[in-house]
Amino acid sequence: MSSSAVDARLGLLTYKNDHESHISIKNQDVCANQCKDKPCVALCPAAVYTWDDVKKNTKVQYENCIECGGCRMICPYLNIDCHWPRGGFGVAYKYG
């Protein structure tokens, strides 16, 4: 249910996508070896983060980001670097 619950919602939004990501995982080893319950995957309101169980890494779909800033606090290992997109890029709400 969750993925469709978020996909349809993100489909309503307008983005101006930058070619470079404003989000990065500082150290994938931390995700693979230390992080048990992956709170970024559960709690990001735009499903930016997914856990790839084959490659054992956290995938970041920065294009989905709606810039709430929560991920930096959610990560128990402070392993997410999320800064603002360059000026004018990213999500552009029509209502807000």
Q: Which residues of this protein are in contact with other proteins, per CB under 8 A?
A: 1-2, 5-6, 8-10, 12-13, 16, 37, 39, 42-43, 45-46, 66-70, 72-74, 78, 83-88, 90-96
CB of 57 to other proteins, least distance (A): 21
Distance set, CA 7 to CA 18, 22, 36, 83, 87 (Å): 20, 21, 25, 23, 25
CB of 14 to other proteins, least distance (A): 9
CB of 38 to other proteins, least distance (A): 9
